Structure 1
Amino acid sequence: MLPLGNIISKHSINFHCYADDTQLYLSIKSEENDHIEKLNACIRDIKTWMTINYIFLNPEKTEVIILGPKNLRDALSAQIVSLDGISIAPHSTVKNLGVLFDQDLSFKAHISQACRTAFFHLQNIAKIRNILSKSDAEKLIHAFVTSRLDYCNSLLAACPKSSLRSLQLVQNAAARLLAGTSRRDPITPLLVSLHWIPVDSRIKFKILLLTYKALHGVAPSYIKDF
């Protein structure tokens, strides 16, 4: 995969590679019309390189998402019907390393999916809660539920509290399951007793931790350089 970066860079297109996942990024202003052809030329060179190396570009796994105001997205979508012969329909959401990105960057789809998955695991843990010690139950909750609330949560820093409310409901349900309390009992004292930071504070803590690491030279270079 190493030569792929040189091919993309030749076309002055930003990119990011993670294992066998390659993403191309283009910033386009409404009056600029040549960027689509630039992307086409890049895809063409990539396909040529893949053919030489006996690799196939799978159209079913090739996705495009357009971020920006809806009127500009609609205008650009009409232009992107194919990329060098590959039929492409812009998606309303795409998965990026486990995070669902939507066209408005509201992350509503990601939050909804995270909550569904977390509640599914909570229901399974609830079925065996009576045979688990409190410490073992807490380990399961952190492994299957809290980990999903925390995953890439710094992306949610600009989300309104209304969007984060569903994530907080998941944490509240997990705390009540662990402690064996009812929904009528106040949640704040319970979270304090468990030393569980609320969801919005966990997001702020993640960003503060990254900032601290960047200032002290122990963050990855792409963060530290900022």
Structure 2
Amino acid sequence: MYADDIQIHRHSTLGNLGPTVSAINSDLSNISEWSRQYGLKVNPVKSQAIIICSPGLGVRVDWQKAPVVYNGVTIPYCDTVKDLGLHLDQQLSYSVHVNVLSRRMFATIRSLRRLRSVLPIPTKVMLANSLILYIPDYADACYYNLT
């Protein structure tokens, strides 16, 4: 739970997906009641759901039979979600995340390139370290054992 975010994680087999989503819906109902009690408003339109599984298993999921619902609003299943700056997809492949990081780094380098003839080398090194190299370093512990 963060300042304005909450996440619910559950582990399930394909056969138990229905009861698992029912348990998530029960948790959401409890959250709704708690937030109503304390005067907090949860916006289900900004919410997302994702099922992380292998590609072969993902095609066997009947998305209509397992809707995630908060206060009568169905929360859509997404192919990718953003979690504290990490872009996660259904297979945890990190390809979406790497593409986003690559675009950010390229845009930053392109912006700095305009200053290449104006700035001294120590300033260029400082800018590269502070504006470019931190991008792939954020949450780098998640990349352990990835190909």
TM-score (norm 2): 0.89
For residues 57 and 79 of structure 1, the distance between their equivalents in structure 2, rounded to whole angstroms, comes to 24
SS in 2 for 1:139: helix
Instruction: Tell me the equivalent position of 2:35.
Output: 50
Structure 1 position 71, deviation (Å): 4.2
Whether contact under 8 Å (2:81, 2:87) holds in the other structure is: yes
For residues 21 and 67 of structure 2, the distance between their equivalents in structure 1, rounded to whole angstroms, comes to 11
After superposition, residues 139-178 of structure 1 pair within 5 angstroms as 139-160=126-147
Whether contact under 8 Å (2:52, 2:91) holds in the other structure is: yes
Whether contact under 8 Å (2:89, 2:96) holds in the other structure is: yes
SS in 1 for 2:45: helix
Structure 1: which 5+ residue stretches go unaligned? 1-16, 161-226
Structure 1 position 78, deviation (Å): 2.8
Q: Which amino acid aligns with 2:47?
A: T
After superposition, residues 97-116 of structure 1 pair within 5 angstroms as 97-116=84-103
How big is each residue's C-alpha offset from its partner over 1:73-130, in whole Å with a ceiling of 9 and x where there is no partner?
3415233334142212211111111010111111001110101011111011110111
Whether contact under 8 Å (2:48, 2:78) holds in the other structure is: yes
Q: Which has the higher helix share?
A: 1
Query: Bigger radius of gyration, 1 or 2?
Result: 1
| Equivalent of 2:3 in 1, 6, 19 | 19
Q: Which structure is higher in RCO with an 8 Å CA cutoff and minimum separation 6? A: 2
How big is each residue's C-alpha offset from its partner over 1:132-187, in whole Å with a ceiling of 9 and x where there is no partner?
11111111111111000211123223332xxxxxxxxxxxxxxxxxxxxxxxxxxx
For residues 117 and 38 of structure 1, the distance between their equivalents in structure 2, rounded to whole angstroms, comes to 38
Instruction: Tell me the equivalent position of 1:38.
Output: 23
- Stretch deviating more after TM superposition (68-77 or 46-55): 68-77
TM-score (norm 1): 0.59
Instruction: Tell me the equivalent position of 1:79.
Output: 65
Q: How many residues align?
A: 144
Whether contact under 8 Å (1:80, 1:89) holds in the other structure is: no
Identity of matched residues, %: 23
For residues 62 and 37 of structure 2, the distance between their equivalents in structure 1, rounded to whole angstroms, comes to 32
Instruction: Tell me the equivalent position of 1:137.
Output: 124
| Equivalent of 1:121 in 105, 108, 133 | 108
For residues 89 and 63 of structure 1, the distance between their equivalents in structure 2, rounded to whole angstroms, comes to 6
Q: Which amino acid aligns with 1:152?
A: A
Q: Over aligned residue pairs, what C-alpha RMSD do you find?
A: 1.6
| Equivalent of 2:46 in 61, 73, 77 | 61
4+ long deviations beyond 4 Å: none
